[in-house]
Amino acid sequence: MERLRRILDWLDDRSGLLTWTRHALAHPVPPRTGWWYVFGSATLIAFILQVATGIALSTAYVPSSGQAYESLRFISEQALLGRFLRGMHYFGASAMVLLIGLHVSRTYLMAAYKFPRELNWLTGAVLLLLTLALAFTGQLLRWDQTAVWSVIVGAAQAGRMPIVGPDLARFILAGDTIGGATLSRFFAFHVFFIPAVIFLFIGLHLLLVLRHGISERPRKHQHVDPATYRAEYAALLEREGVPFWPDAAWRDVVFGAAMVATVVLLAVLVGPPHLGKPPDPSILEAYPRPDWYFLWYFALLALVPQNLETAVIVLGPLVFGAVLLLLPLFNKGARSVRERPLAGLLVVFIWTTIVVFWMAGVRADWSPDFTARPLPAAEVGDTSSIVVEGARLFHEKGCEFCHAIDGFGGKRGPELTEVGGRMAADAIATRITNGGPNMPAYARTLTPEQVDALVAFLGTRKP
């Protein structure tokens, strides 16, 4: 014992680390902060969990387009604890996204971004964007149909931003189409670049938290005034402050432990996301269905009217980014959400939007319907061979997954029951070969004869 203490004393004398830690743990914080304040530390714990499970997974994962899928099969089916680790990494990511969302909502609702904590907010905003980037890049590493399609759709959307769009899409895909280079790029960002920047910003964020102290619970009629706030805060700590550990931090420990236990439980009971078929660009039979935290956004884009889609793609992220970054300009005034009803409504509105569109995404009649059965002969009507051939191709080439005719088929694209009445033959042919914003181009997968047959068939679909 005596020897251990001497070693520790020596370490502390030379490094100052123990004194510093003791000081950080004992520093006074505002009283009665309560359970609302646990989400930040839980996000940090989830991130550490991601680093640990991610390193373990990376020891067996092969980031090459030829082997990624197989190496994941190996991890899931044979490697020691592989399935468990994949599950942990997946549910850990879910936890991190959810918790950072709650943490941002909480600090916004309590106006913790006001003076003097503007930089706490800004570094937090960067951490939010980095977390989403981490989630987006991680999904592709699964390298199955679903993952690949989601990124194709994501890149196509980025490509529709004005001016920077095409370059942005090319940057995301590391080329004009998805392939091995895309995977390398996503891997590098997912395991090196983004985590490194996250570490840096977490460090800054925590330094700032220590510098300004944890924000106190907003009181009614409390107005933040930069001239007096610091003195008021110091007086509050003087009067009623409690030591960070254990008075405030025990809740962080309990909540963090419960979160980790939940992730472990889900990893064991539910397991990692199912690996879909290996990617094959010539198969259209894939759900462009991202992981749940992006599902709502895909559903939103799929459900908004065609002519508003570009506006949503361009304005949505711009407004969101601008609000995040400009918010600290409004750093004075009321903190209590009762005196900021609009802030409360905004948070309710955003969460409702996410939940509603997430549910729409889960129901997903906006995604292709791969169970569509071929049109019965009676529906086709016409018996000339070219029309019958067109009807067959309409099913076989996957058109019917997205287009319904007389109730047969999916709802991803417009119904084509009466298309012959509203579109000329050459317009239909052009659409098939060139595709559209949400329709693949078939120029390379269909022969001219097949296009003719499809056009002939669709031409007979009249009111």
List of residues contacting ligand HEC (CB under 6 A): 284, 368, 397-399, 401-403, 412-414, 419, 423, 428, 431-432, 436-440, 442, 454
Distances (CA, A) of 457 to 65, 140, 392, 399, 453: 39, 38, 9, 12, 6
Tokens at 43, concatenated: 């996000």
Measured in whole angstroms, the distance separating CA 420 from the mean position of its chain's CA atoms is: 40
Kindly tell me which of 327 and 451 has the beta carbon lying closer to ligand HEC: 451
Residue with Cβ nearer ligand HEC (344 or 436): 436
CB 103 within 8 A of CB 39: yes
**Token digits of residue 357:** 């569109």
Task: Name the residue nearer to ligand HEC (CB basis): 111 or 284.
Answer: 284
In this complex, which beta carbon is closest to ligand HEC, that of residue 208 or of residue 393?
A: 393
Q: From the CB of 332, what's the least distance to ligand HEC, in Å?
A: 47
- Closest approach of ligand HEC to the CB of residue 296, in Å: 19
Tell me how far, at minimum, the Cβ of 427 lies from ligand HEC, in Å: 8
Between 92 and 390, name the residue whose CB sits nearer to ligand HEC.
390
Q: Considering the complex, what minimum distance in angstroms separates the CB of residue 455 from ligand HEC?
A: 8
**Cβ atoms of residues 337 and 344 within 8 Å:** yes
H helix runs in 64-191, sequence order: 68-77, 82-109, 118-141, 145-158, 165-173, 180-188
> What's the min distance (Å) between Cβ of 384 and ligand HEC?
18
Longest dimension (CA), the chain: 98
Angle at 402 between CA 399 and CA 403, to 5 degrees: 75
Residue 123: alpha-carbon gap to chain centroid? 19
What distance in Å separates the CA atoms of residue 287 and residue 344, rounded to the nearest whole number?
Answer: 36
Dihedral, 125, 126, 127, 128 alpha carbons, nearest 10: 50
Q: Which pair of structure tokens corresponds to residue 62?
A: 């092969």
Give CA–CA dist 145/153, Å, rounded.
12
Minimal distance, residue 394 CB to ligand HEC, in Å:
6
Between 112 and 302, name the residue whose CB sits nearer to ligand HEC.
302
CB of 302 to ligand HEC, least distance (A): 9
Kindly tell me which of 40 and 440 has the beta carbon lying closer to ligand HEC: 440
DSSP code, position 45: H
Q: How far is the CB of 323 from ligand HEC (least distance, A)?
A: 30
* Closer residue to ligand HEC in complex, CB, 154/440: 440
The secondary structure of the chain in percent helix, strand, coil, rounded to multiples of 5, reads 65, 5, 30
In the bound complex, what is the minimum distance in angstroms from residue 438's beta carbon to ligand HEC?
Answer: 4
Q: What angle do CA 185, 93, 159 make, to 5 degrees?
A: 40
Q: How far is the CB of 275 from ligand HEC (least distance, A)?
A: 22
Instruction: Select 56 or 416, whichever has its Cβ closest to ligand HEC.
Output: 416
| Euclidean distance between CA atoms 160 and 318, whole angstroms | 13
Q: Which two tokens stand for residue 64?
A: 């090459």
Q: Which residue is nearest to ligand HEC (CB)?
A: 436
Residue placing its CB nearer to ligand HEC in the complex, 189 or 457: 457
Label residues 101-134 b or e (16+ Cβ within 10 Å = b): bbbbbbbbbbbbbbbbbbbbbbbbbbbbbbbbbb
The dihedral built from the CA positions of residue 449, 455, 458 and 463, taken in this order, carries a sign that is negative
